[in-house]
Amino acid sequence: MEPRSRIAPVPSPDGVHEDTRPVGQDDGPVPQSPFGDDIDVSITDRRWHMAMRDPAREVKRAVRAAMRELGVSGGVSVVLADDRTVQRLNHLHRDRNRPTNVLTFEYAPAGSGAWLWGGDIMLAFPTVAREARAAGRTVRNHMMHLLVHGVLHLSGYDHHHAGDARAMEMEEARILGRMGIPNPWKHRNGRAAGAAR
């Protein structure tokens, strides 16, 4: 599994690796799982329940919508965790000893030739809540954005270069718009409202 994050290049567990495939490069159809879609949700920090009604249902809604829009199928496990858990994984897999908002681990990296699409997405409640407050949006809407972001990573999107980042932001805005969630990249008060990279 290869962790992905919103903020930096990603080392794989067996060494440093960065996905340099340009976004939009056609490697053929995305491999589909013969087992259909399976979205597993674990909530390990109770503050997610206090921030919104039925977070597991909202997670499934965001992940399914993104998968449908991207035309992918497979298993996704989502863990709604805390900063400490995400910081530990961020340190272990990315050598960054700090929490981040979202980490994504691919089952089979895009372009690897493996048949299995899917992976794990982990979110850290305190970081997500802090970013939501700073951007003037709800925790729910910010969580939905980060989940769509994670599914895009599982589908081969990345944001290491300005053009790739812009393509990813446009895709996030399109998918979120179809769910009735405001564009997180629309400028508010002269600055971008999306979470910091």
Annotated binding site for Zn(2+): 149, 153, 159
Give 169's contacts (C-beta < 8 A, 6+ positions apart): 159, 185, 194
Q: Round the CA-based radius of gyration of the chain to a whole number and report it.
A: 16
Spell out the long-range contacts of 167-175 with Cβ–Cβ below 8 A and sequence spacing 24 or more. 167/23, 167/24, 168/23, 169/194, 172/145, 172/148, 174/69, 175/65, 175/66, 175/69, 175/70, 175/148
DSSP label at residue 71: T
- What residues are designated binding site? 149, 153, 159
Nearest partner of 66 among 143, 160, 5, 130, judged by Cα: 143
Question: How many angstroms separate the CA atoms of 49 and 75, rounded?
Answer: 23
